[in-house]
Amino acid sequence: MAASTIDRNRTDLVVLEARGLTRRFTGVLALSNVDFRLRAGEVHALMGQNGAGKSTLIKALTGVYPPDAGELLLDGRAIHPRSPAEAQALGISTVYQEVNLCPNLSVAENIYAGRHPRKGAAQLWRIDRARMHRDARALLARLNLDIDVGSLLGRHSVAVQQMVAIARALGTESKVLILDEPTSSLDEEEVARLFAVLRQLRDQGMAILFVTHFLEQMYAISDRITVLRNGRRVGEYLKAELPPAALIAAMVGRELSAEAGRHEAAGVADGPPLLAAGGIGRRGQLHPIDIALRRGEVVGVGGLLGSGRTELARLLFGLDRSDSGTLQVDGQPVRIDSPIDAIRLGLAMCPEERKHDGIVAELSVRENIVLALQARLGLRKFLSVGRQQEIAERYVESLGIKTAGTDMPIAFLSGGNQQKALLARWLATDPRLMILDEPTRGIDVAAKQEIMAEILALARAGLAVLFISSEMDEVVRIADRVVVLRDRRKIGELPANCSEQAVYHLIAAVQ
């Protein structure tokens, strides 16, 4: 454990340094004059909210995006990697989130192929198998992994595959190891195993940089933390200097005041819940949670990115199947194994990705609006064009969708109006419960206000609403109750009119 006694502030331990890194994408300053230092023998966490610039910084350090301005130094010498392969040759190894290994090749072949990136698989047959296996075993031994290197990679767990990816990334000359969200698909035991490996590499002197959205994991493994916000570096801290409340304040750019933890009792709607979930969860995505939604109630979901917000929405709507727990609608046990089941029970969901899962760009406003209703009715009860027109016009009117007509291609509408059309699509199914995942993302302030007002009016008319947004101020403003998630777990509930700070306080209370 000699490494843990190193004075980690010594600047002579800096291996990789960035000075004044700036990177612009059309219309976005993704990195603005960012300084960054990574030292030998440390695990350094890069933290920041979605869009803060974490991935861009990693890509600038590893030759994916050459910076527009600024310089990179490795061991005090300027470097200019123009590809990940060049960075790797310099000793900077990266494991990206998507592990791109071949499940049909052996463990050794995967490691070997990765260490000679330009040569390709064909050349594997010409090499000395015994030597390849010996080399692979030696690399895995460094990671404390004792597996049959001749076995097919696909036979192993995701965690082992990730170790193999790390082994492949680690050349013999590697000084720096960079991991972008390495734990997102691992369970607790697998995370513990990965962390044991990272600690061992750190204690061998490796400089390790990693990105995670899980606060507890970050505190478990890291020595130092750099926080980014809106493309700027907020600061560099030793872990002990940055308790959770300070970390979150740095990430979101607001102070958490001390008195913000107090509340009055919840004023929740009476009556039996419309939907009650007991212990529903899904391994690797969401720990079992209890949640109840009542008629006329807006339940907000508070949590940072990666807290399990979208996973919860997907489980309730049947897009993913829960592997535990029970569901009741109106006090009756039900199963929701698919969105069709959910729609039949009166649930509706506006997904997070408007462009991807939401609007159908090739269809008209009218066709987009009647889509879910038509799916609910089934194809044998086809809605006539006249009936479609009627429905579409009703929602264009009531939601104030700005379009030259219901036959316009929806692609012609602004983001806010597309979002309203999506809302209309689900309202047309006459749902009893609406799940809204980021209903106001990427739309202008005025459209945002209108959509929020519409949601509140619908709830007052008896709709149950689950409202998910990464804008915490929106969540606390609209919600009758806020369910707070952290690290894929429900950690509490806060009543109506709670402050944004109260939610952050709860999230920050890492035990």
**CB of 210: closest distance to ligand ADP in angstroms?**
12
DSSP 357-375: II--TTSBHHHHHHHHHHH
CB under 5 to 8 A by kind: which of Mg ion, ligand ADP, none does 25 bind? Answer: ligand ADP
Nearer to ligand ADP by C-beta: 96 or 467? Answer: 96
Nearer to ligand ADP by C-beta: 54 or 287? Answer: 54
Q: Where are the alpha helices (DSSP H) in 204-332?
A: 215-221, 244-252, 309-317
Contact call for residues 317 and 336 (beta carbons, < 8 A): yes
CB under 5 to 8 A by kind: which of Mg ion, ligand ADP, none does 157 bind? Answer: none
CB under 5 to 8 A by kind: which of Mg ion, ligand ADP, none does 84 bind? Answer: none
What's the CA dihedral at 137, 140, 146, 147 to 10 degrees? -70
**CB of 374: closest distance to Mg ion in angstroms?**
37
| Numbers of helices and strands, H then E, in the chain | 16, 20
**CB of 359: closest distance to Mg ion in angstroms?**
25
Nearer to Mg ion by C-beta: 30 or 315? Answer: 30
**CB of 251: closest distance to Mg ion in angstroms?**
14
CB under 5 to 8 A by kind: which of ligand ADP, Mg ion, none does 354 bind? Answer: none
Instruction: Establish if 62 lies at the interface with Mg ion (CB under 5 A).
Output: no
From residue 20 to residue 59, what is the string marking binding to Mg ion with x (rule CB under 5 A)?
----------------------------------xx----
Q: Which amino acid is at 114?
A: G
CB under 5 to 8 A by kind: which of Mg ion, ligand ADP, none does 322 bind? Answer: none
Interatomic CA distance for residues 291 and 88, integer angstroms: 47
**CB of 470: closest distance to ligand ADP in angstroms?**
11
DSSP 249-279: HHHHT----GGGG--PPP----SS-SEEEEE
Contact call for residues 304 and 486 (beta carbons, < 8 A): yes
End-to-end Cα, the chain, rounded Å: 25
Interatomic CA distance for residues 370 and 396, integer angstroms: 12
Residues at the site binding ligand ADP, with contacts judged by CB under 6 A: 25, 28, 30, 48, 50-56
**CB of 54: closest distance to Mg ion in angstroms?**
5
Which residue's CB comes closest to Mg ion? Answer: 55
Interatomic CA distance for residues 171 and 213, integer angstroms: 27
CB under 5 to 8 A by kind: which of ligand ADP, Mg ion, none does 100 bind? Answer: none
Contact call for residues 8 and 15 (beta carbons, < 8 A): no
Q: Which of residues 350-379 bind Mg ion (CB under 5 A)?
A: none
**CB of 23: closest distance to ligand ADP in angstroms?**
8
Q: Which of residues 73-132 bind Mg ion (CB under 5 A)?
A: none
Interatomic CA distance for residues 438 and 342, integer angstroms: 19
CB under 5 to 8 A by kind: which of ligand ADP, Mg ion, none does 48 bind? Answer: ligand ADP
Nearer to ligand ADP by C-beta: 107 or 178? Answer: 178
What residues contact 55, with CB distance under 8 A and at least 6 apart?
180, 211
Nearer to Mg ion by C-beta: 311 or 500? Answer: 311
**CB of 51: closest distance to ligand ADP in angstroms?**
4
Nearer to ligand ADP by C-beta: 55 or 499? Answer: 55
Nearer to ligand ADP by C-beta: 215 or 434? Answer: 215
Contact call for residues 418 and 359 (beta carbons, < 8 A): yes
**CB of 48: closest distance to ligand ADP in angstroms?**
5
b or e along 452-488 (b: 16 or more beta carbons within 10 Å of the residue's beta carbon)? bebbbebbeeebbbbbbbbebebbbebbbbbbbbbbb
Nearer to ligand ADP by C-beta: 183 or 368? Answer: 183
Interatomic CA distance for residues 113 and 122, integer angstroms: 10
Nearer to ligand ADP by C-beta: 174 or 230? Answer: 230
Binding residues for Mg ion, rule CB under 5 A, total: 2
Which residues of the chain form contacts with Mg ion (CB under 5 A)? 54-55
